[in-house]
Amino acid sequence: MCKNMPPLELAIQFHGHICPGLLMGVRAAEFAQKYLDVSPDQDEELLAVVETNSCGVDAIQSILGCTFGKGNLIFRDYGKSVYTIASRDKDRAVRIAQKYQAQPHPDNVRYRELSRQGTLTEEEAAEKENLLASIFERIMTTPFEELFNWQEADFAIPEKAQIYPTVQCSICGEGVMEPRAIMNGQLYVCPTCT
Ligand SMILES: [Zn+2]
Ligand SMILES: [Zn+2]
């Protein structure tokens, strides 16, 4: 991925499509970066704890560089659009929580309806595109405090992700990270073979 790409572009390219959830994630990621005064992560200077696995998380990964593969994206399956971003260098963290909207904007309601529908007529496809354009405009221009709550978080940053030795499973012969292997007598067995 190109480093000079604007954050929004990075997120869209990574996520594969543009959608309201991703845009909310873009707002959260950009806010975290500014609030903590940090650059996108190279080697685990940042850590993200995300409480959802929906679209917005891809903005956190692509813009902040907190990724599943690097081990500095921690997923807590709480079903909440809440992102805690921590900086190792600054030794501080911010918890960003999307505000609950008792009455979602009618554009979003209709957009979700059309998204769920699957096959769309030409008019519906055009309607969906227009809706996305106005949702885009609204999400990207609404003052941040109307979309999210945030607070400095008391957060003990864990050690950087460890690299473990690989051992061989005695049943399938495939390699497995040592702490994930189970001992059967003197032999290692991987989780898929137990
Ligand atoms: Zn999406
Ligand atoms: Zn195995």
Which protein residues have a CB closer than 5 Å to ligand 1 (ion)? 19, 22, 55
pTM: 0.89
Residue 152 vs residues 85, 98, 142: alpha-carbon distances, Å: 10, 15, 22
Ligand nearest to the CA of 184: 2
How close is the Cα of 190 to the center of ligand 2, in Å? 4
- Give tens-digit pLDDT for 111-142: 999 999 989 999 999 999 999 999 999 999 99
The whole-number pLDDT of residue 4 equals 76
Looking at every residue in the chain, the average pLDDT score rounds to: 94
Q: Above pLDDT 70, what percent of the chain?
A: 98
Please give, one letter per residue, the 3-state secondary structure of 124-167.
HHHHHHHHHHHHHHHHHHCCHHHHEEEEEECCCCCCCCCCCCEE
- For residue 132, give the nearest of 34, 30, 55, 35 by alpha carbon: 55
The whole-number pLDDT of residue 163 equals 86
Q: What angle do CA 31, 37, 136 make, to 5 degrees?
A: 20
Give me the domains of the chain, ranges plus CATH numbers.
7-153 (3.30.1330.130), 164-194 (3.30.60)
Residue 181 has pLDDT above 90, yes or no: yes
Residue 1 has pLDDT above 60, yes or no: no
Residue 39 has pLDDT above 60, yes or no: yes
